[in-house]
Amino acid sequence: MSSIKIRTKRLDGKTQIRTLISHPMEHGRNKDPKTNQLIPAHFIQELTVKHNDKVLVNSNIGAGVSKDPYFAFMLKGGAVGDKIIINWRDNLGNTDSEEHIIE
């Protein structure tokens, strides 16, 4: 099961793209209350959004983003049946990708 949820909505010739990503987004400075040890850094470093295989957004993200981040983008155009692909890579080398068809 993917960690990425994608929703799209057509609005006046534009397409709103919203995504919620399930990820701990730990910056490495928090302590585990049970052990009093630092929780290792674990955060998304790169987020890519594609529309019909064309890159719309390629962003570098840091450890300052909160747990389970939400992102929203507005695309000029977009049509029913177009494909949106969102993927991420984190600082531990983990990746995930999800595809969504605009309805």
| Cβ contact 23:73 at 8 Å | no
pTM, two decimals, is 0.92
| Cβ contact 4:50 at 8 Å | no
- Residue among 1, 17, 36, 7 nearest 78 (CA): 17
| Each residue's pLDDT tens digit, 44-90 | 999 999 999 999 999 999 899 999 999 999 999 999 999 999 999 99
Structural domains in the chain plus CATH codes = 4-101 (2.60.40.10)
pLDDT at 53 (0 to 100): 94
